[in-house]
C-alpha cells in the first residue's frame, strides 16, 4: 500500500516523533509506514487522517 | 477477568524476573551448602520443601512476568505488537518442530534424555523468540 504520509508531514513541518506522539504510537511505527514496510491498522489510519484533516483514502491508497 | 488483566499494570516486572531466575537455582545452591545426603536420609520432607518452595515461587514469578510483558505489548505500540505476534509464531513453530525431532532422537538413541525434554524445549522457545524478533524487526526497518 502506498501513502503520502511523508509529504503531508513535511507540509505541516512535523517530525516523525511529533506525529508519533499525536497518534500514540512509536516513532519506529511512523517510519515503517512511511517507508511502506508496514500497513497501519484501520484505527491508526483513521487517527492519522484526523491529524491531517484528510480522508483515509487521500493518504493511503493501493498501487496502480 | 480479561479486562482486569488488560488494565492491570503488572508493576516490578524486571525485579520479579531476576528474583524468579535466582529462585529457580536456589535449591541447587541450598543443597550444596547443606549436607544433602544427610538431609535426604534423615529429613526427606525438608528436602522436598527446599526443592518445592523456591520452584513454586519462581514459577509464579515467571507466569506474572510473562503475562505482564504480554499485556504491556498488547496495550502499546501496534508495530511492536505485530513483531511480538510474529515472533511468537516463529517460536511456536520452531518449538513444535524440535519437539518431534527430539522425541524421535531421544526415544531411539537416548531415552534418559526425555527427562530433560521440557527444559530443552523451553530454551529452544526462548532462543527462537529472541532471534525471530531480531529478524522480524529488520523486516520493518
Region of residue A40 (left: phi > 0; alpha: psi -120 to 50; beta: else): beta
Q: Is the dihedral of CA B52, B12, B62, B4 positive or negative?
A: positive
B92 CA: distance to closest CA in chain A (Å):
23
Cβ of A34: how many Cβ atoms within 10 Å? 17
Question: What is the pLDDT tens value at each position of chain B, 141 positions in all?
Answer: 667 777 788 899 999 999 999 998 888 887 777 777 777 788 788 888 888 899 999 999 999 999 998 888 888 888 999 999 999 999 999 999 999 999 999 999 999 999 999 999 999 999 999 999 999 999 888
pLDDT at B32: 77
pLDDT at B46: 80
The complex's ipTM works out to 0.82
- Of A31, A37, A44, nearest to B78 by CB-CB distance is A44
Chains A and B: how many Cβ contacts under 8 Å? Answer: 27
Nearest chain B alpha carbon to A43: B78
| Strand stretches in A1-64, DSSP E | 2-3, 60-61
Do A29 and B77 meet the contact criterion of CB atoms below 8 Å apart?
yes
Asked whether the beta carbons of residue A28 and residue B139 sit closer than 8 angstroms, the reply is no
* A3-56 pLDDT, tens digit each: 999 999 999 999 999 999 999 899 999 999 999 999 999 999 999 999 999 999
pLDDT at B37: 76
pTM listed for this prediction? 0.76
Amino acid at each position: 500500500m502506498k501513502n503520502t504520509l511523508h509529504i503531508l508531514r513535511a507540509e505541516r513541518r512535523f517530525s516523525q516523533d511529533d506525529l508519533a506522539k499525536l497518534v500514540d504510537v512509536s516513532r519506529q511505527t511512523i517510519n515503517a509506514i512511511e517507508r511502506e514496510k508496514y500497513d497501519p491498522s484501520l484505527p491508526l489510519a483513521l487517527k492519522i487522517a484526523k491529524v491531517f484533516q484528510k480522508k483515509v483514502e487521500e493518504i493511503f491508497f493501493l498501487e496502480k | 477477568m480479561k479486562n482486569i488483566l488488560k488494565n492491570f499494570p503488572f508493576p516490578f516486572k524486571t525485579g520479579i524476573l531476576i528474583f524468579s531466575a535466582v529462585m529457580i537455582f536456589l535449591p541447587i545452591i541450598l543443597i550444596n551448602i547443606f549436607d544433602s545426603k544427610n538431609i535426604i536420609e534423615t529429613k526427606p520432607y525438608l528436602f522436598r520443601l527446599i526443592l518445592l518452595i523456591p520452584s513454586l515461587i519462581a514459577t509464579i514469578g515467571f507466569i506474572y512476568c510473562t503475562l505482564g510483558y504480554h499485556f504491556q505489548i498488547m496495550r502499546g505500540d501496534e508495530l511492536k505488537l505485530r513483531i511480538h505476534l510474529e515472533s511468537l509464531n516463529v517460536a511456536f513453530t520452531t518449538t513444535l518442530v524440535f519437539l518431534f525431532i527430539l522425541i524421535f532422537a531421544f526415544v531411539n538413541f537416548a531415552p534418559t534424555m526425555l527427562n530433560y525434554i521440557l527444559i530443552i524445549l523451553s530454551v529452544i522457545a526462548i532462543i527462537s523468540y529472541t532471534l525471530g524478533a531480531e529478524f522480524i524487526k529488520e523486516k520493518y526497518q
